[in-house]
Chains A and B, each alone.
Chain A
Amino acid sequence: MTSRLVAKCADPTLADSAQRRQLIDRSDRPVANDSHVRDRPVSTCFERTHFTARGVWRGSVEIAPVAAFVVPFGIAFGVAASAKGISPGISLFMSVAIYAGASQFAVLDLWYAPLPLATLALTVLAVNARHVLLSAALASWVLQVPLGRRLAALLLLSDANFALAMSARSRGETDAGILFGSGLIMWLMWIASTAIGALAGSLLGDLSRFGFDAVMVAYFTAVIAGQWKGRTDLLPLIAAAAVAVTGTYILPPGWHIIAGALAGGVVGVWRNG
């Protein structure tokens, strides 16, 4: 395993030896008298990562402009949850504990008594399956920091702070704290904006009279359209939609979403894998 990790660390952006030395000098570890390090071949891992409070602070500052964009979605989630009759306390708890926008919206679609726990869990797993890819892409980075800090860095992983961390990494950033700091700000903004939406929703009463019941479909449609890569995506989309709609007639409540997700995944691999 170690040898594979080392090979993976051979980042082409660090090929320049002056840049490599600079990276090593910036790290907190003692690097004095390390002429042997400089003489190592380029294929060796020079991307030594660490996790410091300064990194956390840098991440927080850099994500701030991006984090502002999460506010409308947090408000929309709070409002949509309220329209489903969910109390502000519970929707706030969702944002604190789950902290994954699309899956939280998907949960609203299945939120009725008695709660279909297995269906809910599988749906959330399917929506958040892409986290596995983000997390995997960060593996060579975070596996080098101690376990506690590694967990902290991954705990608040989202699309936004992943993008920030990857771009920071490509310009030579070696502090995994940047991932945690940026995640922390995104998380706090998500919680605060959910609170605003949930309170507004509970004050306004029945939100469907304003048309806010369309928030979720409008948001999902926008996400789908945003990820659209052309005609190769058409068949997976049709498969998912057709299986899901058919499933509402023949499957137990909620399972049509999982059936649709699997159908879309399988057809996607078949056409593009």
Chain B
Amino acid sequence: MVDSIHAIGAVVVLAAVTLATRLGGVWIMSYVQITPRINAFLKYMSISVLISIVATTAWTAQPRIWLAVGTAALVMVATRSLVGAMLAGTALAALARTLGL
């Protein structure tokens, strides 16, 4: 359990980091141009954080989490609906849980 003083302190730090990213682009633009290479790096890095979390979670998880990942990916590709994909993945994992998988 994380106690609230540490939790509040951590959230303040994380909020400052996030704020820096919001202001950072305008600040950087007054010094340098964002080249296509920098652009590609930032985009791929952002999505790679999510990939890393999904990959490591699924690596050690039960089959029902794999089911959630597969369902969410398929529904997203088929419908392009983020909400639909999230709900379908979660629902199937929940169903697998009640079926004892």
Contact = CB atoms under 8 A, between A and B. Distances in A.
A-B interaction = yes
Interface of A: 1, 69, 72-73, 76, 85-87, 89-90, 93-94, 97-100, 102-103, 106-107, 109, 111-115, 117, 120-121, 123-140, 142-143, 150-151, 154-155, 157, 208-228, 236-237, 239-245, 247-248, 256-257, 259-269, 272-273
Chain B at the A interface: SS class: helix
B89 A214 contact: yes
12 contacts: A72-B83, A128-B18, A135-B26, A137-B25, A139-B26, A211-B95, A217-B54, A221-B89, A222-B72, A222-B73, A222-B89, A241-B55
B52 A240 contact: yes
B68 A218 contact: yes
A213 B96 CA distance: 12
Given A76-B86, A218-B71, A273-B40, A264 B52 contact: yes
Given A126-B46, A150-B26, A265-B42, 5 more contacts: A139-B29, A214-B89, A218-B93, A219-B72, A264-B52
A135 B53 contact: no
Contacts of A136: 25-26, 28-29, 34
B51 A135 contact: no
A79 B32 CA distance: 41
Given A124-B17, A222-B82, A248-B56, A264 B51 contact: yes
B90 A129 contact: no
A217 B68 contact: yes
A132 B59 contact: no
Interface in B15-30: 15, 17-26, 28-30
Contacts of B46: 126-130, 261
Chain A at the B interface: SS class: helix
Contact of A90 (B11, B57, B69): B11
A263 B48 CA distance: 8
Contacts of B72: 217-219, 221-222, 225
B14 A240 contact: no
B69 A223 contact: no
A80 to B, nearest CB: 10
B50 A220 contact: yes
A217 B51 contact: no
Interface of B: 1-4, 6-8, 10-15, 17-26, 28-30, 34, 36-37, 39-61, 64-65, 68-69, 71-73, 75-77, 80, 82-83, 85-91, 93-98
B54 A125 contact: no
Contact of B50 (A102, A157, A268, A272): A102
Given A130-B43, A136-B29, A222-B89, A260 B49 contact: yes
A241 B88 CA distance: 23
Contact of B22 (A107, A137, A155, A214): A155
Contacts of B24: 131-132, 135
For the complex of A and B, 9 pairs with smallest distance between CB atoms: A264-B48, A135-B25, A268-B44, A211-B94, A218-B89, A260-B52, A265-B45, A136-B25, A214-B93
A151 B23 contact: yes
A240 to B, nearest CB: 4
A217 B55 CA distance: 9
A264 B49 CA distance: 8
B13 A133 contact: no
Given A72-B87, A111-B2, A226-B76, A138 B41 contact: no
Contacts of A103: 14, 18
